[in-house]
Structure 1
Amino acid sequence: MKKLAVLTSGGDSPGMNACIRAVVRSSIYYGIEVIGVKRGYEGLIHKDFEVMDASSVGDIVHKGGTILKTARSKAFMTEEGRNQAIKHLKEEGIEGLIVIGGDGSFKGAAKLSEAGIATIGIPGTIDNDLAYTDYTIGFDTAVNTVLDSISKIRDTSTSHEKATIIEVMGRHCGDIAMYAGVAGGAEAIIIPEKPFSLPSIIEKMEHGRKRGKQHHIIILAEGSSKAEDLRQQLVDATGEDARISVLGFIQRGGDPSAFDRVLASRLGLKAVELLKEGEGKLALGVRQNQLVFEDIHEALSKEKSYDPELDRLAEILSI
């Protein structure tokens, strides 16, 4: 392996920069030239390449976002776009590619693998929605961002003796809602993986009032229901209004946590070493704190499910 490339694709997540840094410096350590591809798969199509050195990734380990920028590429979804990307990789003598991103980014990496490009996928998405790995880069930071918001919102919710619906990201996966809800002491956690019971939520709120509770925090993953719809249902059923706080893209930003920086660095180094050893067509991840890798198609075929034990914990502690 003489030359490899790295790109970030899809939604950004805290820790992507730490991973880029690890890829670049590990490559240099092993005497491999490394190319940064700007704006994901769009950068492959338009040959937006940059030779990177140790200084290119200086002072970025603590920064959120991605210095390589990111974009969603409709052109890459076409055979013509992919052929253009492959042509540019071959013209530059790039023998391996590291893709940092989520489900859609991995699908693109799988297509390149089928075309003979040695490709390694590193999971970078705050949703934690890839089933083959316990954690994805950015998830821990996003949960802590939500947790900080819960603490602040609880202060004003208590002062006004109001219920608050906090909508978090998670279109298909409720991990952010579940982890932040348990850690933040939410009365109810609503996730897309399971139906929710409005009477059960109301019962908990009434039970809380009877023991003097002055606020009620409901965490809602965006893929479960619309916050406004839930608010109206509560008004219709109880006559009491609830405040809504939609956290939005604040969950993607901010300095990555120590956990995400270390995870990103471990995965970046491992990806370079796998390419150096002639491997490709793989997805990297972590299970029980051990790095793992498997065929990228197999990784994508696995279905994500929520943790019933965490769900049970949330139910018991929210009485």
Structure 2
Amino acid sequence: MGEIKTIGVLTSGGDSPGMNAAIRAVVRTSLYHNLNVVGVMRGYEGLIAGELVPMNRKSVSNIIGRGGTILKTTRSAAFRTPEGRMAAFENIQKFKIDALVVIGGEGTFTGANVFSQEYGLPVLGLPGTIDNDLIGTDYTIGYDTAINNVISAVDKIRDTAESHARVFIIEVMGRDSGLIALRSGIGSGAEAILIPESETDIEELFRRLEESRTYKSSRIIMVAEGRHAGGLEVSEKIKERFPKYDVRLSILGHIQRGGSPTCMDRVLASRLGVAAVDALLAGHKGEMVGVVNNAIHFTPFHNAIKHISEINPNLLRIVDILSL
């Protein structure tokens, strides 16, 4: 590829709060460098279908505080095929796009990695996922908002739990990662946190519930959805062991993804969007742009898509200490 004159930007996979702030940063930084910008609607599916629109300053006005993504998003089975990627590249050529910024998670970067290698197109990725489970960045866009959404919901649930002396099982998102459950559980004062990365001694959980019966009027147990059968399994086991307990299950679901992004997510998305355009102009390609120790960091796609499987043991120790 030669000189970069036009940059394309898309969002793919699950939406996350802060994606719009990232889009805004990519568009405005491109314009700052006198580049053209093309927005791709509906992710890779839209790239295949030719749903591309020119973008300008007005396109991204007043979107920094909006959740979701103005470019829409979807998961594309067609992009996993050589024929689908060929159709996508034909549209890249048709719209004279010289480089691409993709905002998403593991699936997004997997597709970007193959696409970039097949056609030599400079592609950089911004980590947009609420799970915070990508290698190469301390935080992903949307994670801070998601855990704050959880804490806000649990604080309200605890009011009811206190009033009725109930045990609440709170199931949060995290099919392969327990980071949402872990941090929001600590932040909301959960008595126990069950995550896929750490084996749970169910008998130890029962012991804690029994001991806390005399001095706690409510108990909150946080469960990541990827932990076996999730919250339903845990609630059924507790009901079976303690039939007199008033046990309730609350599955927070997609409420975690929605709403206005926090300041942290807006700033993170803005930093990464600016860095992505600057990096493309400097010759970077095939990498995810992240922040490590408060500095911009570049990680090859094939490394970034590896899930974080080890949890900070200090966080697990904090759970044990503060759940007494």
TM over 0.5: yes
1:226 Cα deviation from its structure 2 partner = 2.6
1:102-157 CA distance string (max 9 Å, x none): 00000011011102110001100001111222110000000000000110000001
2:100 equivalent to 1:97: yes
Q: Map 1:88-127; keep pairs closer than 5 Å.
A: 88-115=91-118, 116-127=120-131
Tell me the equivalent position of 2:29.
26
Equivalent of 1:246, from 237, 251, 254? Answer: 251
Question: Could you tell me how far apart the structure 2 residues matched to 1:257 and 1:137 are?
Answer: 10
Residue 321 of structure 2 corresponds to: 316
Residue 199 of structure 2 is aligned to residue 233 of structure 1: no
Give the unaligned 5+ runs of structure 2.
none
Q: Does 1:146 align with 2:150?
A: yes
SS in 2 for 1:284: strand
TM-aligned CA deviation for residue 288 of structure 1: 1.4
Report what 1:295 is aligned to.
300
TM-score between both structures, scaled by the size of structure 2 = 0.96
Q: Is it true that 1:58 corresponds to 2:61 in the alignment? A: yes
Q: How does 1:178-257 map to 2 (within 5 A)?
A: 178-210=182-214, 212-224=215-227, 225-239=229-243, 240-257=245-262
Q: Name the counterpart of 1:137.
A: 141
> Shift of the alpha carbon at 1:229?
1.6
Q: Distance in 2 between matches of 1:172 and 1:306?
A: 12
The whole-number CA distance in structure 1 between the counterparts of 2:233 and 2:40 is: 42
Report SS of the residue matched to 2:305: helix
183-192 or 221-230, which deviates more: 221-230
Is residue 168–residue 177 contact of structure 1 (8 Å, CA) maintained in 2?
Answer: yes
| Long gaps (5+) in structure 1 | none
Q: What is the aligned residue count?
A: 318
Distance 1:304 1:122 in 2: 21
Structure-2 residue corresponding to 1:264: 269
Sequence identity of aligned pairs in percent? Answer: 48
CA distance in 1, matches of 2:7, 2:54: 10
| Range moving further from structure 2, 213-222 or 83-92 | 83-92
Contact 1:234 1:241 in 2 (8 A): no
Whole-angstrom distance in 2 between the partners of 1:279 and 1:285: 13
Pairwise CA distance, 1:304: 3.5
User: How far apart, in 2, do the equivalents of 1:131 and 1:277 lie?
Assistant: 23
Q: Secondary structure at the match of 1:110?
A: helix
